Amino acid sequence: MIQTVSKTELPVGEMLTIQKNRITGGKGEKGKRICIVTGTHGDELEGQYIAYRLASILQNNTDKLDGVVDIYPALNPLGVSTITRGLPQFDLDMNRVFPGTSGGSDYEYTAKQITKDLTGADLIIDLHASNIFLREMPQIRINEVSEEKLLPIAMDMNMDFIWIHANATVLEGTLAYSMNAIGVPTLVVEMGVGMRITKAYGEQVIHGIFKTMNKMGIWKDSVGPVAPPIVSRDGNVEFLNAGHSGIFIPRSAHASMVHKDQLIGEIADPLTGTVLEEVKSPVEGLLFTLREYPVVNEGSLLARILGGVD
């Protein structure tokens, strides 16, 4: 059932309408409830595929459902329709205004209505992609404050790894922070690259969602095993940044294991035909983030490597 979460008339003559697809079965609204949220950033399209596939599978198999699944495909529908990361014309990041307020701007009001609608859920899965510059392996990011509650749930999500962040690096205006702060367990999934859909990643996440739903008692059908993820903390992650401006040419495959001093890529100068910098791995580990967009400036993030992985 398609339901309207929030509807606001904007000054530019547009309507900001947030909708969800509520799919129920078995105990219906007396059962547990899981919310799948995506489209907060308009240039992150990986979650659109997952929302479509989940809705399709669930609507054709409600006999296997015992509870409620709410799918929110676009918290920033204007951004999705214009492929704009933030809110069009306002240069505002939707994921910085939660939990919102009833007496604030139109977008703060919308965030408040979304927060209200999500409150009471047994679990929220907040789906994100990377930006157009970087490609990410499927991962879950958890604030260390919420580690005790969220890590056991995340282990069933079929992710390649789980990155536990220090509390100081977490922005309080995000949906996940706001919902976890009021006691609604919320997992943040990050994968792929901006403005693209990576079908294999989407299917991997879908399998993890069904496994998690099965563990919660919402999905009654059997679900195959999930691969155990690598669990890491900030101290295990190496950041590789550009020392020169130019064109970045990868020399190692994304999602591969790399050795210490292995060539990750080169920064080239198209004008002179020379290599300005060889970018090498400082550790042995997993290349889980790799530059996708070739133009770089000094200081641009090129890669992240999870060290200490066999």
Q: What percent of the chain stands above pLDDT 70?
A: 98
Residue 199 has pLDDT above 70, yes or no: yes
What is the distance between the alpha carbons of residues 192 and 275, in angstroms, rounded to a whole number? 28
Q: What are the two backbone dihedrals, phi and then psi, of residue 202, each rounded to the nearest 5 degrees?
A: -60, -45
Q: Is 271 helix (H, G, I), strand (E, B) or coil?
A: coil
- Angle, CA of 207, 212 and 216, to the nearest 5°: 145
The candidate with the shortest Cα–Cα distance to 95, out of 59, 127, 52, 120, is 127
The residue among 167 and 164 whose pLDDT is bigger is 164
Using only the alpha carbons of the chain, give its radius of gyration: 20
Task: Please state the pTM of the whole predicted model.
Answer: 0.95
| Separation CA 159–CA 130 (nearest Å) | 15
Q: What are phi and psi of 123, to 5 degrees?
A: -160, 140
Three-state SS at 145: helix
Task: Give burial (CB, 10 Å; 0-12/13-18/19+) of 168.
Answer: exposed
Q: Is 42 exposed, middle or buried (0-12, 13-18, 19+ CB in 10 A)?
A: buried
pLDDT at 234: 79
CA separation for the pair 154, 162 (Å, rounded): 8
pLDDT value, residue 166: 83
Instruction: State yes or no: pLDDT of 66 exceeds 70.
Output: yes
Q: Do the beta carbons of residue 35 and residue 118 sit within 8 Å? A: yes
Inter-residue contact 157 to 212 (CB < 8 Å): yes
* Per-residue pLDDT, 168: 58
- Mean pLDDT taken over the chain: 95
Residue 115 identity (one-letter amino acid): T
Phi, psi of 134 (to 5 degrees): -130, 145
Q: What is the mean pLDDT of residues 253-277?
A: 98
* Cα–Cα distance for residue pair 92/75, rounded to 1 Å: 13
